[in-house]
A and B are shown apart, each in its own frame.
Chain A
């Protein structure tokens, strides 16, 4: 069963625009991670945010976490065609170190 659910399921934007995708989860967490998956490849870890953090940045990525709403968002600024991929959030559940993945957001960036 999915702990985290990404929204929207699909997102199509133009190069240079910002892309925002959201993740909602059901139970308290220690950490939330975001991963990217390019077509035909494995997942690649992007960023981790801990439950006591509210915002983290990594290059053009900005992740926020609102534990009161049990939600996180991933913002990609000034998107590029190379950002076209699926993005997954992953949360730990019940203290388990094994993350549970959502179904993902498919992002298409048109050049």
Chain B
């Protein structure tokens, strides 16, 4: 039972390069999320998908795009990476509704030089 799987685990990019972070969940959850975690800032929501076919902006969406490919998969794309996007990125999933616990992947550590 894998839960939430993120790939890659580590990545180093040069400024201006693009890349896609992949996320897949096997719990049949409706909702999926992308967060970034920076020292002293906690977790900040980038984008979320309430259900298959829908996506919405979170607190810090600038510089990112997302695709909800199907119910299982939710990808995050950096079109032109900037040093300010150096962070740890977490994907999570949950059932939709108040009080539903989120299940997290182990993150992608992204450095942009």
Point out residues on A near B: beta carbons under 8 Å. 1-2, 30-31, 33, 35, 40-45, 48, 50, 88, 90, 92, 95, 97-104
Q: Is the CB of B101 within 8 A of A97?
A: no
Q: Are A43 and B48 in contact (CB under 8 A)?
A: no
Known contacts A1-B59, A43-B104, A98-B48; is A31 also within 8 Å of B99 by CB? yes
Q: Which residue in A1, A43, A50 is a CB contact (below 8 Å) of B90?
A: A43
Interface size of B as a range? 20 to 34
Between-chain CB contacts (< 8 Å), 6 pairs: A33-B99, A35-B102, A42-B104, A43-B43, A97-B99, A97-B100
Interface centre among A1, A48, A90, A98 (most CB of B within 10 A): A98
- Over the window 19-63 of chain B, the binary record of Cβ atoms lying under 8 Å from chain A Cβ atoms (1 yes, 0 no) is 000000000000101010000111101001000000000110000
Q: Which residues of chain B are within 8 angstroms of A95 by Cβ–Cβ distance?
A: 98
Name A2's contact: one of B31, B42, B90, B104 (CB within 8 Å). B42
A104's nearest neighbour on chain B, judged by CB, is: B42
A-B pairs, 10 with minimum CB distance: A42-B104, A45-B101, A31-B99, A103-B42, A101-B43, A43-B104, A42-B106, A97-B98, A101-B42, A30-B98
